[in-house]
A and B are shown apart, each in its own frame.
Chain A
Amino acid sequence: MIFFVLRRSIFGILLLLIISAFTFWIFSALPSDPAALTCGKNCRPEVIEANRERLGYDKPLIEQYGSYMKGIFTGRTYGEEGAAVHCPAPSLGYSYDRHECVTSLIASTLPVTASIALGAFVLWMAIGVGLGTLAALKRGKWQDRVATAFSVIGVSLPTFFLGLIFIMVFVIWTGILPFPRYVGLTDNPFEWFMALILPWLVLAIISAATYVRMTRNGILEVMNEEFVRLGLAKGLPRRRLIVRYVLRAALVPIVTIAGLDFAFLLGGALVTESIFNMPGLGKLTLAAVVNSDLPILVATTMVAAVFIVVANTVVDILYGYLDPRVRVK
């Protein structure tokens, strides 16, 4: 087991190295000139060239990548003399557009995204697995039809549309909720909660739709398994049979997919964050795209990649724990 975790971790780190190099290369290959972005629109060419030299953009790409990677571990000083800015380790670059260290930008936006992702995840798993189970147990009855209808609607609604509808209904028409404005959890838990309800709901409904279907089909499939019939033939009470035999087996694949979906969400919910004006990773990324703020783009891509790689490893370990058939000895 330890060996397995170790091997997966080493593999994960290698993968991240490759992803980082690739991302770095892609963004340097873009037609926009990072040096030109350092000073406004009416910049004189001499200043651009001076900045290029000052920031190291004149050096070979491999050297730039080297200093970037070094900065992650040791911190890095950008510029010289009076204009120098120091970003402590782990430094993921410096945004000339925002005049801020990228690391601190990410540090301030990540909690927002994490709040959104975590709440949405809990909600969507509860709705998805709950409704899916209900639909499977009441197959063909009205509960099943309602759940199926929910899942079809949820799958086909775009996030921005549902988000706007919710704002219209809950904020503008009825005024049940205030317009979402993010407040830190530690600053005011109640306002934090109120602000997040809508983004949570929107994300949860849209993601849950898929989970309703997956859970329903998974359960119905497992119910036809011979071992469930043997469980029944043993004299197991129905409830225990459903929980320990059917759900246990049906949820294994769902847990693994859920882990990856959650990690994906942690990388930033671009549309949801934008609609509800949540200052999270997704909004940061979107703004960086608009402003061609390359250091931020490289960093947010890397952060998202880290989440996915870590989630993949965790899911693999978890899978082995959940399913004895793939357990490594």
Chain B
Amino acid sequence: MTLLSVQDLHVTFGTADGAVRAVQGVSFDVEPGETVAIVGESGSGKSVTANSLLRLNFGADVRIDGRILLEGRDILAMDETQIRSVRGREVAMIFQDPLTALNPFYTVGHQIAEAFAIHHPGTPKRELRKIALESLNKVGIPEPSKRIDQYPHEFSGGMRQRIVIAIALVNSPKLLIADEPTTALDVTVQAQILELIAQMQAEHGSAVILITHDLGVVAEITERVMVMYAGRVVESASVADTFLTPTHPYTRGLLKSVKSLDAGRHERLESIPGIPPSLINLPSGCPFHPRCAYAESLGGRCETETPALHLVGSSRSACHLPDERLLGLLGGGV
């Protein structure tokens, strides 16, 4: 059975400047144990999508439409009690900045134990402590019996992210949402954290949704990639297809703007011209058309008609270009 099925998700924030349409018609499935990456720039809607999966858009004036089915149950239709039993138990989250994600007023042991206790009321204190200790041990915190009574500020960034992971995994969730888990960390620590996530995933059998803007991270641990732009999914494909035969001009741009080791010495990095659009005032038609080098070749179609995701080869792409041009994007010039 499909673990998570997101169908036609729309997320709109009310602000003083007008409605921010952060996510528009996003649909995707996640199978049990699978790793899916959502890639995009800041403001592409990837984090909003992630937060909507658990309805974490706390305090904001937000409207979420569509369906988010977790094993067939619609998260958006759940009452407070039901969604609470999903949060942290069935679906857990890892946040971007481990320096701010932990509560500075409680010991790390307390915070791990709390995550377990919420969903297992009545667990004796001694048992909770044992669980916290085991969790710390599992995520590779040295001297856990000493560290368990320390506060977050006594740990380094990488160690804190390990603790956040320990909190997320203490209930063996079916789905782990990792929202830019390595962005705030040192490069040397990034690899360790990714490895830890992969290792924990194997151990618990959890599916992982990895939100990132780092294509290197994607290549490392995911199986499937969704590329988001201005609140829409513009391409959805396997990792291999994404890197070898991207089927959307935006994905091509992303790949071309990363330096690879086998690139020639004098090969210049390309960049995508322009800036991401304002989510309050989106371009008509395809949201990428003002920055797209191919839009002109299609006449005015890109300005008037929003392309739908459709099968191109083994990928799914939201672009008006004919299939054969899409499949040859990397090879040919503009």
B92, B105, B164: the one contacting A324 at CB < 8 Å is: B105
B99 to chain A: closest residue by CB = A226
B97 to chain A: closest residue by CB = A226
Is there contact, CB below 8 Å, between B119 and A226?
Answer: no
| B101 interface hit (Cβ, 8 Å) | yes
| Residue from the set A232, A236, A323 with the largest chain B CB neighbour count within 10 Å | A232
| Residue from the set A229, A234, A323 with the largest chain B CB neighbour count within 10 Å | A234
Complex alpha-carbon distance, A226 and B95, angstroms: 8
Q: Which residues of B contact A227 (CB under 8 A)?
A: 100-104
What is the 8 Å Cβ interface bit string for chain A, positions 306-329, against chain B (1 contact, 0 not)?
000000000000000011110000
Q: Which residues of B contact A234 (CB under 8 A)?
A: 87-88, 92, 114-115, 118, 167
Is there contact, CB below 8 Å, between A236 and B104?
Answer: no
Give B4 Cβ to nearest chain A Cβ, in Å.
16
Q: Which residues of B contact A230 (CB under 8 A)?
A: 93, 95, 101-103, 164, 167
A228 to chain B: closest residue by CB = B58
CB contacts under 8 Å to A, within B65-94, are 80, 84-89, 92-93
A325 to chain B: closest residue by CB = B153
A contact face: mostly helix, strand, loop, or mixed:
helix
| B216 interface hit (Cβ, 8 Å) | no
| B56 interface hit (Cβ, 8 Å) | yes
A232, A237, A323: the one contacting B58 at CB < 8 Å is: A232
Q: Known: A223-B58, A223-B59. Is A233-B103 also a contact (CB below 8 A)?
A: no
CB contacts under 8 Å to B, within A14-31, are none
| B132 interface hit (Cβ, 8 Å) | no
CB contacts under 8 Å to A, within B5-58, are 51, 54, 56, 58
| A225 interface hit (Cβ, 8 Å) | yes
- Tally the A-B contacts, defined by beta carbons under 8 Å: 75
Complex alpha-carbon distance, A202 and B115, angstroms: 45
| A94 interface hit (Cβ, 8 Å) | no
| A276 interface hit (Cβ, 8 Å) | no
Complex alpha-carbon distance, A248 and B115, angstroms: 18
Is there contact, CB below 8 Å, between B84 and A235?
Answer: yes
- The number of residues on chain B lying at the interface, defined by a beta carbon within 8 Å of a beta carbon of chain A, is 31
Give A212 Cβ to nearest chain B Cβ, in Å.
19
Complex alpha-carbon distance, A227 and B59, angstroms: 14
Q: Which residues of A contact B294 (CB under 8 A)?
A: none
A140 to chain B: closest residue by CB = B61
Complex alpha-carbon distance, A232 and B115, angstroms: 10
| B243 interface hit (Cβ, 8 Å) | no
Q: Known: A227-B102, A227-B103, A249-B105. Is A233-B87 also a contact (CB below 8 A)?
A: yes
Is there contact, CB below 8 Å, between B103 and A245?
Answer: yes
Is there contact, CB below 8 Å, between A324 and B58?
Answer: no
| B151 interface hit (Cβ, 8 Å) | yes
| A231 interface hit (Cβ, 8 Å) | yes
Is there contact, CB below 8 Å, between A229 and B58?
Answer: yes
CB contacts under 8 Å to B, within A220-256, are 223-238, 245, 248-249
What is the 8 Å Cβ interface bit string for chain B, positions 186-206, against chain A (1 contact, 0 not)?
000000000000000000000
A224 to chain B: closest residue by CB = B59
| A181 interface hit (Cβ, 8 Å) | no
| A139 interface hit (Cβ, 8 Å) | yes
Is there contact, CB below 8 Å, between A323 and B87?
Answer: no
Q: Which residues of A contact B118 (CB under 8 A)?
A: 234-236
Is there contact, CB below 8 Å, between A323 and B102?
Answer: no
B177 to chain A: closest residue by CB = A233
Q: Which residues of B contact A233 (CB under 8 A)?
A: 54, 56, 87-88, 92-93
Is there contact, CB below 8 Å, between A249 and B56?
Answer: no
Complex alpha-carbon distance, A234 and B56, angstroms: 11
Complex alpha-carbon distance, A223 and B60, angstroms: 10
Q: Can you identify 24 A-B contacts, CB atoms within 8 angstroms?
A: A223-B59, A225-B100, A226-B95, A226-B101, A227-B101, A227-B102, A229-B95, A230-B101, A230-B167, A233-B87, A233-B92, A234-B92, A234-B115, A235-B87, A235-B89, A235-B115, A236-B118, A237-B84, A238-B80, A245-B103, A322-B105, A323-B104, A324-B151, A325-B151
Seen from chain A, the residues whose Cβ lies within 8 Å of a Cβ on chain B are 139, 223-238, 245, 248-249, 322-325
- Knowing that A225-B100, A234-B115, A235-B87 are A-B contacts, what are 17 other residue pairs whose CB atoms are under 8 Å apart, sorted by A's residue number? A227-B101, A227-B102, A229-B56, A229-B58, A230-B93, A230-B101, A230-B103, A232-B54, A232-B58, A233-B56, A233-B93, A234-B167, A235-B115, A249-B105, A323-B104, A324-B104, A325-B104
| The 5 A-B residue pairs with the shortest CB-CB distance in the complex, in nearest-first order | A235-B88, A235-B87, A226-B100, A234-B88, A324-B151
Seen from chain B, the residues whose Cβ lies within 8 Å of a Cβ on chain A are 51, 54, 56, 58-59, 80, 84-89, 92-93, 95-97, 100-105, 114-115, 118-119, 151, 153, 164, 167
